[in-house]
């Protein structure tokens, strides 16, 4: 990426302790931006901050659980106190729980997913907005292709991402007269810890099962971050990444076909594996 596109810009990044968030922080630091990084894991944030400073970036570390509205307010306040302004908010924090909807023992993980993925972005945007209006700044939301074309086993995650699109589509219109723009980014599969941290119906992280999903065809976090920052610089409305973008296009033309395909690819093989496992137990 061209250097100095974000020089002296003040940026808040949530979910910055690993993956896409970490890559965004490092690339922005290398661009000369002033970065406030937020996530729940304070020790990991400090490691990212040290990497950013090694690139010459000015960094503020604010451990934050974005599901807590008060902590999001504090994040914005500390950023303004440190840097005096805010130009770009990147809502990246997210989590996922994967199971058939009626397999979840209760709705705790469903609510938790909405609290982090959706309300976390709402909280940060609400408190950042007065400052973004002053700077005629920009909001970037890291969503997912799952927020445009849903998949089975992902009802909490897809619901949270569909909500992101609805929220920012409405907000974008409200902000049009204030010079504040919104970019919603929809990555395809990206090699990050996200897949290892994805939970099953009981809230247990996938771990090694998540790592087994990685392939050489998947996008790296650095690649995703670079595409995101180019889109932010150009103030694009929406970015669809990877081959999954074709699914989104097909969904608009033939939604029934896409649903049928998802059932064939995801549901039916899983049902066969479950039946085989039950047969082995009985034998």
What is the pLDDT, as a whole number, of residue 282?
A: 59
Domain assignment present for 3: no
> Could you tell me if residue 104 is left (phi over 0), alpha (psi between -120 and 50 degrees) or otherwise beta?
beta
Domain assignment present for 56: yes
What is the pLDDT, as a whole number, of residue 218?
A: 87
What is the pLDDT, as a whole number, of residue 117?
A: 98
Please list the residues that pair with 58 across neighbouring strands. 34
- Angle, helices 19-30/221-234, rounded to nearest 10 degrees: 60
Domain assignment present for 66: yes
Q: Do 183 and 257 share a structural domain?
A: no
Q: Which long-range contacts (CB under 8 A, 24 or more apart) does 272-280 make?
A: none
CA distance 200 to 274: 15
What is the pLDDT, as a whole number, of residue 279?
A: 62
Phi, psi of 37, deg, nearest 5: -110, 140
Domain assignment present for 25: yes
Domain that holds residue 270: 246-283
How many C-beta atoms lie closer than 10 Å to residue 260's C-beta? 11
CA distances from 223 to 1, 65, 267 (A): 10, 26, 31
Tokens of 251: 């969904």
Torsion of CA 196, 200, 203, 206, to 10 degrees: -20
Tokens of 97: 């729980």
Domain assignment present for 2: no
Q: Do 264 and 173 share a structural domain?
A: no
CA distances from 11 to 134, 137, 182, 232 (A): 14, 10, 14, 11
Q: Do 272 and 201 share a structural domain?
A: no
What is the pLDDT, as a whole number, of residue 209?
A: 75
Q: Do 263 and 141 share a structural domain?
A: no
CA distance 198 to 196: 6
Domain assignment present for 111: yes
Tokens of 63: 């451990």
Q: Do 189 and 121 share a structural domain?
A: yes
Q: Do 256 and 231 share a structural domain?
A: no
Domain count, the chain: 2
Domain assignment present for 5: no
CA distance 172 to 282: 56
The catalytic site residues sit at 157
Domain assignment present for 150: yes
Q: Do 210 and 95 share a structural domain?
A: yes
CA distance 148 to 130: 29
Q: Do 260 and 229 share a structural domain?
A: no
- Please tell me the pTM assigned to this model: 0.93
End-to-end CA distance of the chain: 59
Q: Do 147 and 271 share a structural domain?
A: no
Residue stretches of the chain with pLDDT short of 70? 1-2, 211-214, 216, 271, 273-283
Q: Do 67 and 175 share a structural domain?
A: yes
Q: Cβ distance 93 to 66 under 8 Å? A: yes
Q: Do 145 and 50 share a structural domain?
A: yes
Q: Do 259 and 211 share a structural domain?
A: no
Tokens of 41: 């894991």
- Interstrand relation of 190-191 and 219-220 (parallel, antiparallel or unpaired): parallel
Which domain CATH number covers 75?
A: 3.40.50.720
Q: Cβ distance 67 to 112 under 8 Å? A: yes
């Amino acid at each position: 990426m061209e250097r100095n596109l974000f020089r002296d810009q003040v940026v808040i990044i949530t979910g910055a302790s690993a993956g896409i968030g970490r890559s965004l922080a490092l690339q922005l630091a290398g661009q000369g931006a002033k970065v406030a990084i937020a996530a729940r894991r304070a020790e990991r944030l400090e490691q990212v901050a040290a990497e950013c400073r090694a690139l010459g970036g000015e960094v503020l570390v604010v451990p934050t659980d974005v599901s807590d509205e008060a902590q999001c307010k504090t994040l914005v306040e500390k950023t303004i106190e440190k840097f005096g302004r805010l130009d770009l908010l990147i809502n990246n924090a997210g989590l996922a729980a994967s199971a058939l909807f009626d397999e979840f023992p209760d709705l705790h993980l469903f609510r938790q997913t909405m609290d982090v993925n959706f309300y976390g972005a709402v909280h940060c945007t609400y408190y950042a907005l007065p400052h973004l209006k002053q700077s005629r700044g920009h909001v970037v939301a890291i969503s997912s292709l799952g927020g445009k074309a849903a998949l089975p086993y992902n009802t909490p995650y897809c619901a949270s991402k569909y909500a992101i699109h609805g929220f920012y589509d409405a907000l974008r219109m409200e902000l049009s007269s204030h010079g504040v723009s919104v970019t919603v980014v929809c990555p395809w599969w990206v090699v990050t810890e996200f897949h290892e941290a994805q939970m099953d119906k009981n809230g247990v992280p996938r771990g090694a099962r998540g790592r087994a999903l990685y392939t050489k065809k998947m996008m790296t976090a650095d690649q995703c971050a670079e595409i995101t920052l180019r889109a932010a610089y150009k103030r694009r409305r929406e970015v669809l990444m990877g081959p999954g973008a074709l699914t989104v296009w097909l969904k608009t033309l033939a939604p029934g076909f896409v649903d049928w395909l998802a059932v064939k690819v995801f549901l039916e093989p899983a049902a066969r594996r479950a039946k085989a496992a039950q047969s082995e137990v009985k034998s």
